[in-house]
Amino acid sequence: MAPSLSEKFSDSSVLIDFVINQGNGVKGLSEMGLKALPKQYIQPLEERMCMTNVQAQESIPIIDMSNPNDPEVEKSICEAASKWGFFQIVNHDVPVEVLENVKDATYKFFGLAAEVKNKYSKEHSLSNNVRFGTSFTPQAEKALEWKDYLSLFYVSEEEAFALWPSVCREQVLDYMRKSEVVIKQLLKVLMKGLNVNEIDETKESLLMGSMRTNLNYYPKCPNPELTVGVGRHSDVSTLTILLQDEIGGLFVRGNDGDNWIHVPPIKGSLVINVGDALQIMSNGKYKSVEHRVVANGSNNRISVPIFVNPRPSDMIGPLPELIENGEKPIYKQVLYSDYVKHFFRKAHDGKKTVAFAEL
């Protein structure tokens, strides 16, 4: 009798060759109609999502941005960043059709043949700034994550036109351009909340000097309760702007530490979260909160985050204005590229990355 697909993939070298080397990703596994999850994706018990720990009645704030300069709106943004680390925005300045176009483009990219997507893999991509991959850091993980992604680090329009896949290039650039207005509005408000009232060019560059957009694809999964779409982590960004589709599956760590809160999809909304860089720069006032994505047994899911970051060459630490006001720094100055390397060197491990910058 021929071995089942699950048996075939129980050999890790066969699985790695199919998923990573040939560029099939977990999408390729999903589309084979596996009846059981390959063992390499089975997470230890403590990393699986226990639905009894979900706070059904809790939700992160939803903020109406139709008048971003309203003092009440400003207060809501700063409170959400301090208390929750996450909030959703509605009636913002990014047109709905721009969001729909980038979602369509995400499906188009992942619908390409494996050999076409594989041109953008770590082994074959013409640049480190364009990367098709799977899981998070496969070489460092004990168990793999059920996700494929395309990561696009923005350098210039010229580079994007030369190197980004044509099937999604224009749509991602448009999404990034249109989001910049909202990013600047949010950063202005968050800085004002720290009594930093002037964002000059140096400060703007420190807060948003580089940007990366990821197209994430979470295919339908056999035994979704045994694995994760993305493991527990906090982002290394200043801010993350996330577009999610209507499927749902993003969970945020609640204030009491033990429970998780689902972030329900709201059509036309964007999910905003504070990243570690902003937690460090705000000297801990704004919180970068742990989050995770569950796998789904009945639907494919996509999401498109923009990571708004300092530049790799920037030193990040508590903003000088805070220290001049007499605050005691709880973080040291660190080179941002060192911080990011530390994050990508290991598997997702909750909030441990920020300890790298603690005094």
Are the beta carbons of 104 and 171 closer than 8 angstroms? yes
Are the beta carbons of 18 and 29 closer than 8 angstroms? yes
Is 231 part of a structural domain of the chain?
A: yes
- Tokens found for residue 227: 């694995």
Is 51 part of a structural domain of the chain?
A: no
Q: Which residues contact 174 (CB under 8 A, 6 or more apart)?
A: 98, 101, 102
| pLDDT (0 to 100) of residue 342 | 80
Is 61 part of a structural domain of the chain?
A: yes
Which value, in Å, is the radius of gyration of the alpha carbons in the chain? Answer: 20
Are the beta carbons of 288 and 207 closer than 8 angstroms? no
C-alpha torsion 230→249→57→187, nearest 10: 70
- Tokens found for residue 234: 């906090």
Q: How many domains does the chain have?
A: 1
Is 16 part of a structural domain of the chain?
A: no
Q: Which residues contact 14 (CB under 8 A, 6 or more apart)?
A: 8
Is 15 part of a structural domain of the chain?
A: no
Is 39 part of a structural domain of the chain?
A: no
Is 32 part of a structural domain of the chain?
A: no
Measure the CA–CA gap between 301 and 245, rounded to whole angstroms. 7
Identify the residue whose tokens are 């491990």.
349
- pLDDT, one tens digit for every residue, the chain (359 residues): 344 566 677 777 888 888 888 989 999 999 998 888 888 888 887 777 776 677 776 889 999 999 999 999 999 999 999 999 999 999 999 999 999 999 999 999 999 999 999 999 988 999 999 999 986 555 555 788 999 999 999 999 999 999 999 999 999 999 999 999 999 999 999 999 999 988 999 999 999 999 999 999 999 999 999 998 988 888 999 999 999 999 999 999 987 777 899 999 999 999 999 999 999 999 999 999 999 999 999 999 999 999 999 999 999 999 999 999 889 999 999 999 998 888 666 555 556 677 778 88
| pLDDT (0 to 100) of residue 1 | 35
CATH number for the domain that contains residue 186: 2.60.120.330
Is 177 part of a structural domain of the chain?
A: yes
Q: Which residues contact 25 (CB under 8 A, 6 or more apart)?
A: 19, 110, 114, 117, 132, 134, 148, 217
Q: Measuring CA to CA, which residue among 268, 290, 271 is closest to residue 279?
A: 290
pLDDT tens, position by position, 80-117: 999 999 999 999 999 999 999 999 999 999 999 999 99
Range of the domain at 145: 57-357
